[in-house]
Structure 1
Amino acid sequence: MQSFAEATAVHPVTGGFSADLDPQWGVGDKLHGGYLMAVVARAVAAGAGPAHPHLIAMTTTFLRPPAPGPVTVQVEALRAGRGSAQFRARLVQDGVACAESLVTQGVLDEADPWWSGLPLPVLPAEDECYLLPSDPPGAGIAVHLLDVVEHRLDPTSLTFAMGHPSTTGQISGYLRLADGSDWDPLSLLVALDPTPPISLTLGIQGWAPTISLTAYVRRLPAPGPLRMTMQSAEVTSGRMDETALLWDAKGALVAQATQLAAVRPAS
């Protein structure tokens, strides 16, 4: 098992950066969207320089799923200012674009917020939450991501697994990197796209590929587990929204994201 840093490593090449996508960071035969964003964001950070070391915002449109293996990331600088710098980046495999991103780099710290309207969610203790297996019974696919990112979910989020679909459209729980690494601004992108998708908790069996995801990283996370909540407002016309929020072990909001995903019920 590669660490997150190893699985997202990039190397300078003519025209951008090269990377080798790791199949471990996937669901079934599809690579995880947050993982792909992290690979792109690492390439952008490598090109941004020390004045803007941290990811603070990123929007990615997913065009087609890449296969595990070699890819290139093309990075274009759009603007560099005193407080932030903006970039456009493209993940390419075999000459075909797989994802397009707009990325803002800046400087993060651990300061308390000037104001916050989002209270820390109330969850059971971490050891009272259910550790999701990578080979869930009846799923029909291996969720490899769960071998590298531990998901301990509030049992009230899992009634769908016992034949009682959720009526709230929400999941919550704790996330840790399985190799013991601490969370950082790039790995938070993976945590902002947790599993299972809300559609599954509502009783809709099938794939829920991300169409577009926008993430904001608010501060450097403290060591320890993340508290995660994710909720959908509506499933309609074969699509759903999902809004994810992450708090670190000190109770500080560290990242948030909104995504639009397709809902493709199994035939």
Structure 2
Amino acid sequence: MTRFDSATAVTRTGDGHYTAELDPGYLIGSALNGGYLMAVLQRAALAESTHPHAVSSSYHFLRPGAPGPADIELAVRKTGRTVTTVQVTLSQAGKELVTGLVATATLDPAATPRHETARADIPPIERCHRFDPRADRSADMGFPDRVDQFYAPRTYAALSGSDPAAEPEITGHLAPSEADGGAVEDPSLFLPLAVDALPPVVTVLDSWRWAPTVELTWHMRAVPEPGPLAFRSRADLVSDGWFDETVDLWDVKGRLVAQSRQLARIGR
């Protein structure tokens, strides 16, 4: 079992109630990464559903999460042959941290798309640079060691400060950390972490700063093959202290496996 698998494990304690032990390795500064919290909630939602895949998930982030015990409350809002919808809320010390709705379904791994937009032009991982601009910014920050990140040359130049970008876009590849055991037991369970694992896309316009997520919706579009995920992240509008971020993920076969859209604040 990888560290990710054990860090996202949940324990059922009663009808609609689960507990989790949140792992300090997923800290970014003093707060746990939002994608990691979504991955924990996804485990609980799938445990309450007869379907194996979280095809649509929408979360509001109310407070930052901290390492240690956490409680999860669930309520199945609809049960159906095609879709089961589960409401989930993560709390610590009686205070709600994240709340959302997860629609679960069963995707066919062998499905052939009737239409699919071509993958973004992303250099192969061998031509990308392993890097994370958040590394060494805080003694409490363990997250850069949990996800291996490889940035395309143009993105690396922008993130490292050698050639700031004119447009908010980053591309490259990411995967569960080899140091933590590499590939997870079920690659689809890694997707909620993956869509929120990257530095804020506005980092290419300026130096890295905190960028708390207000709301994030993501969709699982296909069952991913094991291996690194190619990514493209972009913003359409950066204004008045707010920005949006859209992330697309492709698996090693070039299939679009996940999409996300979030609204976030520009850090201070």
Using the size of structure 2 for normalisation, the TM-score is 0.92
String of CA shifts for 1:31-82, please: whole Å, max 9, x gaps.
Answer: 111110010110111111xx31211110000000021100011000100111
In structure 2, distance between residues paired with 1:61 and 1:135: 24
What's the counterpart of residue 250 of structure 1? 253
What's the counterpart of residue 220 of structure 2? 217
In structure 1, distance between residues paired with 2:58 and 2:138: 31
Residues 1:169 and 2:173 are matched in the alignment = no
| CA RMSD of superposed structures (Å) | 1.9
Please list every run of at least 4 consecutive aligned residues from structure 1 whose deviation after the TM superposition is greater than 3 angstroms.
133-137, 139-143
**SS of the counterpart of 1:78?**
strand
**Does the 8 A contact of 2:147 with 2:197 survive in 1?**
no
What's the counterpart of residue 150 of structure 1? 148
CA 1:115–1:177 in structure 2 vs 1: closer, same or farther (change >3 Å)? same
Gaps of 5+ in 1: none
**Does the 8 A contact of 2:133 with 2:199 survive in 1?**
no
The code of the aligned residue for 2:35 comes to G
**SS of the counterpart of 1:34?**
helix
Gaps of 5+ in 2: none
How many residues are aligned here? Answer: 261
**Does the 8 A contact of 1:21 with 1:68 survive in 2?**
yes
**Does the 8 A contact of 2:131 with 2:156 survive in 1?**
no
Deviation of residue 133 (structure 1)?
4.9
What's the counterpart of residue 159 of structure 1? 157
What's the counterpart of residue 60 of structure 2? 61
CA 1:168–1:26 in structure 2 vs 1: closer, same or farther (change >3 Å)? same
Match of residue 182, structure 2, among 180, 187, 192: 180
The code of the aligned residue for 1:113 comes to P
What's the counterpart of residue 121 of structure 2? 122
The code of the aligned residue for 1:191 comes to A
CA 1:121–1:105 in structure 2 vs 1: closer, same or farther (change >3 Å)? same
Using the size of structure 1 for normalisation, the TM-score is 0.92
String of CA shifts for 1:100-145, please: whole Å, max 9, x gaps.
Answer: 11110110222121211x21122222122111158646x4566422
The code of the aligned residue for 1:127 comes to E
Residues 1:24 and 2:25 are matched in the alignment = yes
The code of the aligned residue for 1:172 comes to T
In structure 1, distance between residues paired with 2:165 and 2:140: 23
In structure 2, distance between residues paired with 1:212 and 1:257: 11
